[in-house]
Amino acid sequence: MEEIVVTARRRSENLQDTPVAITAVSGSMLADRQATSITALNDLAPSLTINSSAAFSGSSQTVAVFMRGIGQTDFTLNTEPGVGIYVDGVYISRSVGALLDLVDIDRIEVLRGPQGTLFGRNSVGGALNITTQKPTSEFGGKASLTYGTDNLLIATGTINVPLTDTLFVKASLQSNTQDGYVERIADGIKLGNKDNLSGRLSLLWNAGANTEIQLNADFSRSRENGAPLVLSEVAPGAPFAAAHNIIVAPQLNPALQAFPNGCLDPAGAAIGGNACFDNRWVLADPFKNAGTYPVFSDADVWGLGLTIKHELSDALSIKSITAYRDLDSKFSRESDGSPLQINSTEDIFQYHQFSQEIQLSAEMLDGGLNVIAGGFYFDEKGHNPNIVDFGFVRFLSGGDIHNSSVAGFGQATYKISQQLALTAGIRYTSETKRFTPDQFVISGYTVPFFPPFLQFTPGQRLTTSDQQVVKAKEWTPHFNLSFRPTDDAMLYVSYSRGFKSGGFTQRIFPALTAPPSFQPETVDVYEGGFKLDLFDRRFRLNGAGFLTDYSDLQVTVPVGVAPTTQNAAQARIKGFELEATAVPIDGLTATFAVGYVDAYYLALDTRVSPTITLDSKFPGTSDWTLNGSLQYGAPIGKGLTLTPLIGWSYRSEFSFDAENFVGQGGYHLVDASIKLANTETGWSALVFGKNLTDELYYSHGEQILNPGGFKQVSPARGRQIGLTLAKEF
């Protein structure tokens, strides 16, 4: 088995020498599976869920990541992810625009458990640490073309050029397009399509014997029809459906004016007429949508990163990571999936972030003591006006944010003996979050049976326009004790603390004096694990068990009209992961992984939501996640290698939301590929299949309005077959 190098502790180490629960996925493994976005990690890492559309957004470029029961369903500028995403050491702060295309990837490390000491805030569940390939001194490149189901067309090109003996450049460009798969019956528009263009440019300069400077620039542009959402259920007599059916429907269909309840006859049964909103708009075909509201999902993302490494001596080095990122996104959503104007939203989502990190690394006592210390500064500004239309009222929600964070950290690993090592670290974070609401009624009219606080006047403000401020200061320590009984075995125990930032409820309706705030949530995690290489390194078994004490847990629930984030609970999460890799004969690799998560509430604030109970499931969290694969690379002569691969994954039932309104049953997925490669010419052909059993399952679901309301889900794409031709040079 080859050695796998990871940087989970901010320095390069062998995976088997790192006492952290890690799944390491190489770039070649991603390519063999035709993995084009980070959602592919669902089938490769246990205790992980990545949904490709966050609740309430409509954006097809938004992710909701959950690890070991911890994550975030909402996407607003005032809520934070529970799992951090890092690209070449740079923190990606927002879930919008984080559905990253995997181009020119060296490896991805799935780090489970809090990473609050070395990675910082908002990594309470873990982190996705993505490393791209660096420029090298060798001229070379690769071009590939993929065609598949639904007119999938991916064209990728990468080239590496040494400009001088010390200056190297690498560039990559990818176009990724595919037809949608959820059809709107009114106009034939297909939702869930892909239309992405992304690129990356990296410049590496060996400025001296002890200095390395790398400049990275990347961009991504998407122009898509919107998330593939469909209506799945309408609650009979739900308040906003009733408002439409009694007030609006009789104006659309005068025949309904004869009935005192609009779309209901005197006995309370629904009557005919397409002016009524009820379950008639839930279509039998799960890939059809009856909506007519214009939906779209556009995003432009770009970023710059400058990394400077300098060795001050053989034992001391300093590293600087400076980065700037910018996102400009617009997207809309039709929640009701009908030709009626029941609920739709439009968002402008813009932000930019600047970050600066300094790391000082030292190796002392003949390698017996490794120390890393440093500081981190982060600043972001964002603008997210959000138009919400309920038919009888249309209003502006959202506002502007300005967040800043300063942190200092240090961690040391001391080898007590050749077998025993102790690690201790701590991070101090001070942050300030500012929110300036801009929320008012655009248009509306009187609804006879609504109470006074739900009568609307154009221009009426829904909350103050004064800037709101919350501050937080947190210590996040980490302790780890590892023991190596042999060169091929390691045992460890650890304690870690992490926190996720607080913020403000961004959506206000009906009117409030000021936007409610919520506090940070914290986790304390106790973990024990092992890493084994057996049978002359032909069998690897890694495992970890954990217990998480969860305080001030943030949940996002619909309170009346508005999705609201509040601190609701104390909770506990416990579970384990096992990952096995076997190479019984040369060329044959078998993998298997299992994760178990038991997440439950210990105490609840029933004022937040009376429908969340001690028995409610955590959102985005399956009790069981399993995956396995079998791959065999067989030389067949004349420089040719034939490599078949089959992969399987399973996840048990889970809920998409904290109140368990919308869920997904357990399901299996089977993928496969076969690759023919010529090592002499650099040509290869890969035939692949995804979801070969054509499993119907949902990647996202949510309830709109509470109590009652209606539900929408996002079916995942069905079976896909494709071919990739590639040439390396």
Report, as an integer, the average pLDDT of 172-193.
96
Report, as an integer, the average pLDDT of 389-403.
89
- Is 76 exposed, middle or buried (CB count within 10 Å of its CB: 0-12, 13-18, 19+)? buried
Which three-class secondary structure state does DSSP give residue 41?
A: helix
Residue 250 included in any domain: no
Could you read off the pLDDT of 253-285 as tens digits, one per residue? 666 665 655 666 555 556 666 778 888 889 999
Strands annotated E in 438-561? 440-444, 468-486, 489-500, 503-504, 517-518, 521-534, 539-559
Q: What is the pLDDT of residue 494?
A: 98
More confident position, 440 or 705: 440
More confident position, 61 or 528: 528
How far apart CA 633 and CA 686 sit, in angstroms, is: 13
- Is 547 exposed, middle or buried (CB count within 10 Å of its CB: 0-12, 13-18, 19+)? middle
Out of 176-180, 242-246, 364-368, 450-454, least confident range: 450-454
Range of the domain at 416: 5-236+278-728
Q: Is the pLDDT of residue 178 over 60?
A: yes
Residue 320 included in any domain: yes
The whole-chain average pLDDT of the chain stands at 91
Out of 145-159, 313-327, 584-598, 609-623, least confident range: 609-623
Residue 261 included in any domain: no
Q: Is the pLDDT of residue 297 over 60?
A: yes
Out of 357-366, 647-656, 698-707, 715-724, least confident range: 698-707
- Is 365 exposed, middle or buried (CB count within 10 Å of its CB: 0-12, 13-18, 19+)? exposed
Residue 242 included in any domain: no
Q: Is the pLDDT of residue 539 over 90?
A: yes
Q: Is the pLDDT of residue 559 over 80?
A: no
Q: For 177-203, b where at least 16 C-beta lie within 10 A, e where not — what string? A: bbbbbbbbeeeebbbbbbbbbbbbbbb
How far apart CA 663 and CA 487 sit, in angstroms, is: 46
Total domains present in the chain = 1
Highest mean pLDDT among 318-332, 338-352, 708-722: 318-332
Report, as an integer, the average pLDDT of 559-583.
89
Q: Is the pLDDT of residue 706 over 70?
A: no
How far apart CA 332 and CA 641 sit, in angstroms, is: 47
- Domain with 645 in it: what CATH number? 2.40.170.20
Closest CA to 698 of 227, 334, 37: 227
CB 96 within 8 Å of CB 78 = no
How far apart CA 363 and CA 368 sit, in angstroms, is: 8
How far apart CA 51 and CA 38 sit, in angstroms, is: 10
Q: Is the pLDDT of residue 169 over 80?
A: yes
More confident position, 456 or 123: 123
Residue 602 pLDDT grade (very low, low, confident, very high; cuts 50, 70, 90): very high
Which three-class secondary structure state does DSSP give residue 187?
A: coil
Residue 272 included in any domain: no
How far apart CA 392 and CA 251 sit, in angstroms, is: 12
Could you read off the pLDDT of 31-73 as tens digits, one per residue? 988 888 899 999 999 999 998 766 567 787 888 899 999 998 8
Residue 262 included in any domain: no
Closest CA to 42 of 6, 83, 1, 90: 83
How far apart CA 529 and CA 543 sit, in angstroms, is: 5
Q: What is the pLDDT of residue 391?
A: 78
Residue 255 included in any domain: no
- Is 102 exposed, middle or buried (CB count within 10 Å of its CB: 0-12, 13-18, 19+)? buried
Q: What is the pLDDT of residue 201?
A: 97
Residue 241 included in any domain: no
